[in-house]
Every structure is written in C-alpha cells, then in structure tokens.
Homo-oligomer: A and B are copies of this chain.
C-alpha cells in the first residue's frame, strides 16, 4: 500500500467528537453575540497582499502564507527579478495571501462597505486564520478566531457590553475566569510622568513581563533600553502597587495627577467599573496595571481573560483602537473589540472535563437490519421519528447482529430498535436501552414519546 497520507504540519483534521465539542464552544459564543445584537459577517480566506502587508510590521509579514499567482506566474519576470531574494520574488509571483487575523480584514471590510453599513456597527466574525508560525504544542498554523467588535462609537458602554459578553460566555461554558483590565492612556500617562513619553512602547512591553521576570527584571530591561535612572526610580513604586483594584486606582490618581492623558485613562477605568456595578459580573474583574498587550493599535481600554482553573495564558483579549480603519485610509473611527481563542478554550474545557456528555443531535436510535421485509416496514417509522427531530438510523446492511450492535456501541447510540417478523405482524418495535439492557414493545407513537423524553 502507498504511504499513509498526511496533512501539512501545524494543521488538523477534526473528528466528529472534536467537531461536536468545538461546535459547543462556537454555538455558545454565537448565541451570546446574537442576544447582544451583534451581526455576523464573513470575509474571504484570501486577501490581497497589499491589504495584509505592512500593517503591524515585518514580524507579522513573515507570518503570511502567500498564494502563488495562478497560470504562468513567471511569464513577465526578467532574469534579474527571478534572481532576487525569496522575500522580493515572493511578492512578484503572489498577489494574494491567507488572512492571519480577523482584525485587518474587518478594517478593510468597514472601509470598503462604509456606505452600506449602519453605524455603530456591531459585528461578529468566526472564521479560521492562518499563520506561518513554527508549530508547537497548542500553537497551530490554522486556527479559529471568534471576534466581536463595535465600530463607530467611543462610548464606554461598548467596553461594558464586551465584559458582559465575556462573563456570559464563560458562565455558559462552565468555566471560572478572571478578567484583567487596564487602559493604554494610563500607560501613556505613566510614560509621561516619568519623563519618557517616547518610551511608552518600551515601557509597556517591559511591564507586560512583570509577572514573569519580577519588578527588578522589568527595571533592568528598561535601563538597557536607555531609560534614565531617574525615570526608573519614578516607575518602581508603580510596579509595586498593592491592594484591590479600586484602591490601586486611587493611589495611581495621586501619582498621575500631572498627566492629562493618564487622568483621562483613570477616569475611563472608573466609569467602566461604575457600569459594571449596575449589573455585576459573576467572574472576577480586576484592574491590572501590568497588563499592556502587544498590539500597537490599542489606544484606550485593554483587557485579557485568564482561566482561574488552568494555567494556559490568555483565552480571550482585546481593547479599544481609535484608528484601526486609518490603515485603509478612513481616519477617526473609534472601535473596541475582543477575540475569543477557541483552541485554548477547548484545551481548558477538555482538561477540566466540562464538555456536555452528549451532543443534543447525536443519533438517539439505531434500527437493526434483519432483511428486506423488515426494512420496508421500518422506513416509514424512521421518517416519522425524524419528523419529530429524533436522530435515527437504520443499519444499511443485513449484517450479523453482533456487528450491528458493535456499531451502536462504538457510536454510543443509547437506543436500539429490533423489528423482526413478529414485530412487523404486531405493528410494534422492540426498543432496547443500551445502558440498562431493558426492553419495551412500543407502537410508533409511543416510540416517539419515549424517545422525545430521552433525548
């Protein structure tokens, strides 16, 4: 036999069991997006490279999967062009790439369709993305993102709604989580107060590592990046702020008093927490000054969600961006959004055994196939059951009883129906419950009732 076929590294097949579990996550997320009035969109897997490249910097461009132009792609290339580096040649022979997130395509969508969109635009999008990252445990080259954004409104009610959505999603999935909250304006204020506003990125990147490398590690990294000793001294007490979230906010208020942007960030945080008080969340919500989030486009609130039960990093995150559509030429449109990491959520749920035991739409009943005469008796009963939404199958072959029962067993079908000569004559079905072995003789209507209640 030929070599066993396989799939590209970093990609996955999903078996029926995995699909059922993944759909449980997607359906839960989708249902909650919808009840909040968010609308679905989808964008193509391939975008023009001109839309994808140069958006977040070279590092990101390297993660792009480029699609080779179809037809005679090298027809118009000179020998010189053909001998360029792979990087340059790549953009000559490919015009399209696979999207690596849903944010850039969303920004492109908003700009392209701005005349058809009703703003504020509340959209969600659940689609795969592709990244030419080095595959490793828990990191794939194809994975799904579940994004939800409001664009065209700078009200903090939007941030509040996203916090509610996070709370509702994880409550519905049965997971305990912690939401960490910060604001980029506060980080900008800190940079301003310590006299290094131009160092804001370096500061946030370093602060982001506080949990990993400790406050001394952060300071030594910043010194390396050229932050003055004076600035570092001013930063140190901030890194050691203690106490519950609101208390930290108060302390910070004292420190940031001289920074307009810092105070604005603090006011936003306070306002948002006031909204939360009107309808408290069930999960933990905490102000975390050390939360910075890597992406450059955030300008206001930022948040991240961690499992309170499994150490796996962020399972959801996002923030406010004041100029995302600017990359496509439409300036001054504020938005805020979050992205659920379906793969990590899956891993957490699997580890904690939180998936429902049975999907509602798994097959409930298998009719054993005893031969043509019985089959013709069974067919209309099957149709009747399915009309009532009871997922039912007839084993397609007149195979040995043992084989048919093994199929029911492996598929974990809870009921088997036996219809032999006697049952045909009496117009009944012998229903066997697999778990208990208990058998009942039921007419077609009784069968529907029995299985509807068992579903």
Q: Cβ of A44 and Cβ of B93 under 8 Å apart?
A: no
Closest to A66 in B: B68
Contact of A41 among B5, B13, B35, B383 (CB under 8 A): B13
Stretch of A152-160, A248-256, A416-424 lying at the B interface: A152-160
Which residues of chain B have C-beta atoms less than 8 A from A330's C-beta?
Answer: 1
Given the known inter-chain contacts A41-B14, A122-B393, please indicate yes or no for A65 contacting B68, CB distance below 8 A: yes
Taking the complex as formed, is A58 at the interface, i.e. its CB lies under 8 A from any CB of chain B?
A: no
Q: Cβ of A278 and Cβ of B380 under 8 Å apart?
A: yes
Q: Cβ of A383 and Cβ of B118 under 8 Å apart?
A: no
Stretch of A94-102, A207-215, A445-453 lying at the B interface: A94-102
Taking the complex as formed, is A8 at the interface, i.e. its CB lies under 8 A from any CB of chain B?
A: yes
Closest to A385 in B: B35
Contact digits for A90-114, partner B, Cβ 8 Å, 1 yes 0 no? 1001111010000000001101110
Distance (whole angstroms) from the CB of A102 to the closest CB of chain B: 12
Stretch of A45-53, A290-298, A428-436 lying at the B interface: A45-53
Q: Cβ of A379 and Cβ of B278 under 8 Å apart?
A: yes
Question: Total interface residues on A, using CB and 8 Å?
Answer: 106
Complexed CA–CA distance, A42 and B386 (Å)? 25
Complexed CA–CA distance, A75 and B4 (Å)? 29
Contact of A16 among B40, B51, B361 (CB under 8 A): B40
Q: Cβ of A2 and Cβ of B48 under 8 Å apart?
A: no
Which residues of chain B have C-beta atoms less than 8 A from A73's C-beta?
Answer: 86, 90
Q: List 14 A-B contacts (CB under 8 A).
A: A7-B108, A11-B46, A13-B42, A19-B42, A45-B45, A62-B70, A66-B67, A68-B93, A73-B86, A120-B407, A122-B393, A157-B394, A161-B394, A168-B386
- A residues near B (Cβ < 8 Å) are 1-8, 11-16, 19-20, 23, 31, 34-37, 39-48, 51, 62, 65-68, 70-75, 82-83, 85-86, 89-90, 93-96, 98, 108-109, 111-113, 116, 118, 120, 122-123, 128, 130, 132, 142, 150, 153, 155, 157-158, 160-161, 164, 168, 275, 278-279, 328-330, 361, 363, 366, 369, 375-376, 379-380, 382-383, 386, 389-394, 396-397, 407, 410-411
